[in-house]
Amino acid sequence: MSTQSYRLRVNGADHEVAEGWIGESLLDVLRDRLGLPGAKNACEEGECGSCSVLVDGVLSCACLVLAAAAIGTEITTVEGLGAEGALTDVQQAFIDAGAVQCGFCTPGLIVAIHDLLDQDASPERLVVEEALSGNLCRCTGYGRILEAVDLVAARRSAS
């Protein structure tokens, strides 16, 4: 197997990847080599959003990023969103709104919603729906998730 050693910058810290098979996706490397299982493995073809991360600030599916080619980028995963153990407002809203059931889609949605609200502080419902249309959830029917987004937007504008 063709391998490569390289360094990735994830959540502000450098990580060495020693002799990784070059076919490994960023999702594989985060989960299996770097101990960051927050990005989830549900489809591995970009059709579910469970592995959403930010690569240089761009919302991406980690399963579609060749890890060894992501050298020199800043990668942010769900683990890197909040300050040391504290909940972000999006995470808190998910709990308050009842947006979590099995939780498998949750980390990807949290990352996607942060990305959305960083670009548009109080998005229209349709904008939210389109922005989250790449994140499948099988438990909730999305009702409480959309509620959580509204809750964050309302709390941000109130503060």
At its nearest, how many Å lie between another protein and the CB of residue 155?
15
Query: How many positions of this chain bind another protein (CB under 8 A)?
Result: 86
Residue showing tokens 């060749």: 66
At its nearest, how many Å lie between another protein and the CB of residue 88?
8
Where in 99-118 is the site for another protein (CB under 8 A)? 100-107, 110, 112
Phi-psi region of 31 (alpha: psi -120 to 50; beta: other; left: phi over 0): alpha
> Given the complex with another protein, which of 4 and 122 has the nearer CB atom?
4
Where in 34-93 is the site for another protein (CB under 8 A)? 35-50, 52, 55, 58-61, 63-66, 68-69, 71-72, 77-79, 82, 87, 90-92
| 3-state SS track over 49-97 | CCCEEEECCEEEEHHHCEHHHHCCCEEECHHHCCCCCCCCHHHHHHHHH
